[in-house]
Amino acid sequence: MTVVEPAVSAQRAPWAKNKILETANELFYGDGIRTVGVDRLISESAVTKATFYKHYGSKDRLIVQYVRYRDKSTRDRVHSVIDGSPQPETALRALMGQVTDEIAAPEFRGCAFLNAASEYPDPTHPVRLVVGEHRDWYTGVLTTLLSEMGHPMPGEAADELMLACDGARGGGYAGDPIAATTALGRVVDRVLSEAKK
C-alpha cells in the first residue's frame, strides 16, 4: 500500500501561522509588545516576510491575536480545573493556586493582560477590548463559584479576589514573590471564610 504524503505547502501553512503566534507569545510577554519589531518576529519564527503578512497582515493584527491566544489558554486551564474539581471551593482554591504557581515560575513577567493594557492606553483599542472581555469573564467565573459556595456577596468578593490577584502578580514580579503569594493566600482564606458564616 502506498502512503501519500500531504503536500508540503498544505503542511507548512498552519505550521507557519502557529509558529509566528507562538513566537509572538514568547517575545511580547517576555520583552514587551511595542519593543518587538516585525523583523525580529519574522527572524525568530523562521518564516519569510511574505508568510508573516499572508497570515497576519500587520503587527497590530498579530498583537490582537496574541492577547486572544493568552485569553484562550487561560480559559482552557480554568475550565480544566473546574471540570476536575468536585466542589466550588476546591475549584476556587485550585484557580488561586494557578496564580501562585504562575508568580513562582522563573519566566514570570507579570500579568500578560495588564501588561498589554498598559501599552495601549486608549480604552477603545482592540487590545483593551480583549483584555476587558477576559477580565469580565474571569470575574464571572469567580462570582459563579462564590455564589455556589453560598457567599453573601459573590460579585463583590469576586472583585476583591481579582484585585488581590492583580496585586499579587504586580508585587510578585516587581518585589517579593513569596510575600505576594502569601498575602494573596490570606485574602483567599478570608473571602472563603465569609461564605461559611
Residue 37: the pLDDT is: 96
Q: What share of the chain is helix, strand, coil (3-state, %, to 5)?
A: 75, 0, 25
How many angstroms separate the CA atoms of 134 and 112, rounded? 11
The confidence band for 14, taking pLDDT boundaries of 50, 70 and 90, is confident
Residue 1: the pLDDT is: 40
The yes-or-no verdict on residue 113 having pLDDT over 50 is yes
Q: What is the pTM of this model?
A: 0.89
Q: Which residues of 5-38 are buried (b: 16+ CB within 10 A; e: fewer)?
A: eeeeeeeeeeebbebbbebbbebbbeeebeebee
The yes-or-no verdict on residue 41 having pLDDT over 70 is yes
